[in-house]
Amino acid sequence: MSDARVTNLAKILTQYSIVVKRGMTVSIAATSAAETLVAACYEELIKLGCYPVVNMTPPGLNEILFRHGQAHHFNRATAFQKAAVRLADASIRIQSEINTRSLSSADPAKQAMLSKVTRPLSNVMLRKSWVLTLFPTTAYAQDAEMSLKDFEDFVYGATFADEANPVRAWEAIRRDQDRLIRKLKGADQIRIVGPGTDLTLSVRGRTFINSAGTHNMPSGEIFTGPIEESAEGVVQYDFPVCNAGREIDGIRLVFRKGVVVEASATKNEAFLKAMLDMDPGARRLGELGIGTNRNIQRFIKNILFDEKIGGTVHLALGKSYPETGGVNKSALHWDMIKDLRKGGALYVDGKLFQKDGRFV
């Protein structure tokens, strides 16, 4: 039986999240596990007069790549890859893994090399209209410790695909976040406090961006790029970071003059340190984000949702977004989440801005 929420999500992606015009070429990338959403997006794009190009692959291909790939597979992009990103006018990317731990034994050095090679391709697509979303699979449901049905309800609730007029809901979030950004205009020092955490950083002269579903779906955050040399203090993250098939937990970072000078983790510490040593920019902050999506209140081990949890902040190591004014360069962009809902607070220039996850 078809799920009307899948059709609704496809309409959100094609009619709200990305900006399309008749005759545009739009790429759709997913695994075959997301076939119903891919087909729904394809249908909507055809109706809009676009040329959809589908790249729907079997799950598990990346595992094969890291197991059997040779040196040249990780140190240069192919002409086809370069042409594909150059010729696409917009893109829809759908996370749809059936095994989120398939890369748990992949060589971190190879993963770092591939990230460096593909970063320029990603930068080309980021300058165009794009959106990233997730199709609910059993693997994601298991990570979230939910049944598939409950996880589907969670996903479609977080994206507002279960509402009669989801676009109106996203427009309301945009207006609310615009109000927060106006309050932050001219701000300089941000202080984040909570259990194991007392970190200050500067956002002086930087721009806060309103993320309301036009690139990430779901969304619900405002973010900026901190001054690269400004972070001072310590942060103890409350949730594990799930990256490249690994789970890194108990992360604690100490910053001095914007640089991570101490790093530890209770789980997969070696992988954490390998990522920090990827390049010089990997040890600096590239993003400060404030989550606002009140339909997301639980951690599910997927950063697309977790960084939007209403009442949390996230700090990304590595690459800055140029539109914020950030200038940090790195092949890494790694979001880590601090929960402020129980005993946490956010101060802006010495004044309380958020307490226990609620704006004041």
Instruction: Please report the pLDDT score of residue 109 as a whole number.
Output: 86
Cα gap 25→37, rounded to integer Å:
18
Residues pairing with 232 in the sheet: 200
What tokens does 219 get? 């969304």
The answer to whether the CB of 254 falls within 8 A of the CB of 198 is no
Query: Which CA distances in Å does 16 have to 9, 164, 166, 213?
Result: 10, 15, 10, 8
Dihedral pair phi/psi, residue 143, rounded to 5°:
-60, -40
Domain boundaries in the chain? 4-164, 169-359
> pLDDT (tens digit, 9 = 90+) per residue, 22-55?
999 999 999 999 999 999 999 999 999 999 999 9
For residue 356, give every residue at least 6 positions away whose Cβ sits within 8 Å of its Cβ, in sequence order, or none: 311, 340, 341, 342, 343, 344, 345
The helix/strand count (H/E) of the chain reads as 11, 19
> pLDDT (tens digit, 9 = 90+) per residue, 115-160?
889 989 988 998 999 999 999 999 999 999 999 999 999 999 999 9
For residue 120, give every residue at least 6 positions away whose Cβ sits within 8 Å of its Cβ, in sequence order, or none: 77
Which of 348-353's residues contact partners 24+ apart within 8 Å by CB, and which partners? 348/183, 348/184, 348/187, 348/189, 348/190, 349/187, 349/188, 349/189, 350/189, 350/191, 353/183
The amino acid at 274: A
The answer to whether the CB of 312 falls within 8 A of the CB of 357 is yes
In degrees, rounded to 5, the angle at the alpha carbon of residue 330 between the alpha carbons of residues 327 and 336 is 95
Q: How confident is the model at residue 340 (pLDDT cuts 50, 70, 90)?
A: very high
Query: Which CA distances in Å does 197 have to 239, 266, 301, 343, 348?
Result: 14, 17, 21, 11, 16
Instruction: Please report the pLDDT score of residue 207 as a whole number.
Output: 97
CA quadruple 167, 168, 173, 175: dihedral sign: positive
The amino acid at 168: R
Residues 283-298 have a mean pLDDT of 96
Instruction: Please report the pLDDT score of residue 243 as a whole number.
Output: 75
pTM (two decimals): 0.86
Its CATH class, for the domain covering 4-164, is alpha beta
Cα gap 257→279, rounded to integer Å:
17
> pLDDT (tens digit, 9 = 90+) per residue, 176-235?
999 999 999 999 999 999 999 999 999 999 999 999 999 999 999 999 999 999 999 999
